[in-house]
Amino acid sequence: MGKVGFIGLGIMGKPMSKNLIKAGYELVVYDVNAAPMEELVATGKAEAATSPADVASRCDLILTMVPNSPHVKAAVLGPGGVIEGARSGTLVVDMSSIDPMVSREVAQKLAEKGVRFLDAPVSGGEPKAVEGTLSFMVGGRQEDFDRAEALLKCMGASVVRCGDVGAGNVTKLANQIIVALNIAAMSEALVLATKAGVDPELVFRAIRGGLAGSTVLDAKAPLALDRKFNPGFRINLHIKDLANAISAGHEVGVPLPLTAQVMEIMQALRVDGMGELDHGAIIRFYEKMAQTEVKRTQA
């Protein structure tokens, strides 16, 4: 395979691109900020591009990892975008978490030029991006998935095709709904336990092996007990995902009442200046209402 294009070298994209370099790929990279491009070029395994179109003119497989739907449309379809430099047969794999309707729109525009498209959002946040153990949820044709699968496995522990274009982002939105509601449920429960005079760590230990146990509980309860809210996945980013989920729900006629509820909790936290904290800080909304703090009582 020739050089791989990588557009978007932020909190997620930079470590993901580094894992591709470790796996032996040579990259052509682009970001609106010069610093991460320079860092990757310094490895000797990446070349800097001047625009997404420049990336596309030099690569037949292009990965994009940008914040939200407007950024994907700008990078792929806008002036200087991928579509201006891509040749027929090029495959674009968008790993951003966006509105699935936008994924389908971008795919349709690219198809008019003979360019293939997969939506392949990830779950796992920055720690798993660094480790190379992300989960990829992919939408698109089977033959395009087959072409990209080995590449994605250099960055993730799980790579699953969920259906046609848009299915990857629908799956990611379903994931984000479940994660947000799990954190909210954990928060309610541990704040209740604390205010009722029961050690929240013992409650966590007692319930984690039963039906209430979950990966989310195991990941977030210990951090809440240690009062660690530095971001693995920021509240502001989760707000973006839930906004896309609610938009998609309205588009297809699915009410999402619990998603809307936790969205408003996150909005309140953002107004309180906590938007850049980890989404585990949802517990602080409940703590504020109950005038109590969940923390370890034993050393």
**Which residues are catalytic, by number?**
172
Which among 181, 186, 213, 211 has a CA at the least distance from the CA of 200?
A: 186
How is residue 65 written in tokens? 């990892």
At which residue do the structure tokens 């691109």 appear? 17
Report CA dihedral (274, 280, 282, 285) to the nearest 10 degrees: -70
Q: Whole-angstrom Cα distance, residue 238 to residue 179?
A: 10
Q: Whole-angstrom Cα distance, residue 32 to residue 50?
A: 9
Amino acid at 179: V
- Residue 140's alpha-carbon distances to 150, 165, 166, in angstroms, are 16, 4, 7
Q: Whole-angstrom Cα distance, residue 81 to residue 240?
A: 23
Q: How far is CA 149 from the centre of its chain?
A: 18
Q: Whole-angstrom Cα distance, residue 180 to residue 269?
A: 14
At which residue do the structure tokens 């909210």 appear? 184
254 Cβ contact partners less than 8 Å away, ≥ 6 residues apart? none
